[in-house]
Structure 1
């Protein structure tokens, strides 16, 4: 158990393919486990995940290209479509609104907290995939694709799409990251 190693291995993988080193059912089960474990404010459980494989995954990326009417290069879209699946990250606005009503003092914070919880879920699933030797990247074609995605995959209208994570077998490793001067971003006060 080493979160530092897990985060070091988690990288943005653009060169992926449909050859997964583990089964789709293992990915599905692990995503469910992680989704249950990631915390959120007031235990509101607002995060939602939709996992697409096979033809549904391919359809998503074809429709993203169509929605953008060619403004995003086909090669870029095809690099995501080349993967084996996509994780869609959403949160349930109905859950957030209920929390706002129940805890009105904190009403303005619940959408922020829902986004924070979703961000924690995204990094957790991303790291999990890498631990399974699956490469992934995080994409943001929303809100342009929101309605089409809800229509294609029968997603409730009150779910807000936040990100898309195409994943697949790792074809090649990304270049090494350059070390930064972390003291410019982390201040320690004693």
Structure 2
């Protein structure tokens, strides 16, 4: 089967080996990320997704925050060193997109549409996931590698303080990206019969 969109998302993979050999300008990347999020669908067109785009030194600062926060969880010096080394692989990239959801927007929808109140937080998670996937794929089309990380909530307070993030923005994920410096690992798939049912 040949389909341009399917080809793109098939080739989009988790890339851990990333670097700073990026030809795109910070302005271009910012515009690409912002417009991709704008075009990502959300329930009731709530547009509840928020993003903080960290590039270069600001990106590295974020991963130093994560590395410092994780030291408290290390069982010994060896595990601490491994964690620090792992964070350094993320810092080796050129940027990170911090994805947030605006809690006030979600709460406003719950008030406005009480019949659906319990679903809006779930739908907000759908919205941010779509935005994350869309940005990830957009970066892939530019020849960049990325991986999606989840180090919230251990750095939430520091992130809000450092970059003046509104208190109603809830951190959900971090997409770290850069030049592709190594291939993705092989990806296996479960049997279609286990995953899908089709009725005609």
The alignment of Structure 1 onto Structure 2 pairs a total of residues equal to: 190
Partner residue in 1 for 2:25: 23
Residue among 127, 134, 138 paired with 2:137: 127
Give the structure with the higher percent helix.
Answer: 2
Give unpaired runs (5+ residues) of structure 2: 75-79
- Cα deviation for residue 179 of structure 1 reads 4.0
Matches within 5 A, 1:32-111: 32-69=34-71, 71=74, 73-111=83-121
- Cα deviation for residue 183 of structure 1 reads 2.2
For residues 152 and 81 of structure 1, what CA distance do their matches in structure 2 show?
A: 17
Partner residue in 2 for 1:154: 164
- Cα deviation for residue 187 of structure 1 reads 1.2
For residues 71 and 183 of structure 2, what CA distance do their matches in structure 1 show?
A: 31
**Which TM-score applies when normalising by structure 2?**
0.91
Partner residue in 2 for 1:6: 8
> Would you identify which runs of 4 or more consecutive aligned residues in structure 1 move more than 3 Å?
none
For residues 91 and 30 of structure 1, what CA distance do their matches in structure 2 show?
A: 19
Say which SS state the counterpart of residue 100 (structure 2) adopts.
strand
For the pair shown, which has the larger CA radius of gyration, 1 or 2?
A: 2
For residues 167 and 139 of structure 2, what CA distance do their matches in structure 1 show?
A: 28
For residues 93 and 138 of structure 2, what CA distance do their matches in structure 1 show?
A: 17
For residues 58 and 109 of structure 1, what CA distance do their matches in structure 2 show?
A: 36
Greater Cα offset, 172-181 or 62-71: 172-181
Greater Cα offset, 132-141 or 176-185: 176-185
Residue among 170, 189, 198 paired with 1:188: 198
Partner residue in 1 for 2:77: none
1:53-83 deviation line (CA, Å, top 9, x unaligned): 0111010000111112263611110000000
1:102-122 deviation line (CA, Å, top 9, x unaligned): 111111111111110110011
Residue among 175, 181, 195 paired with 1:171: 181
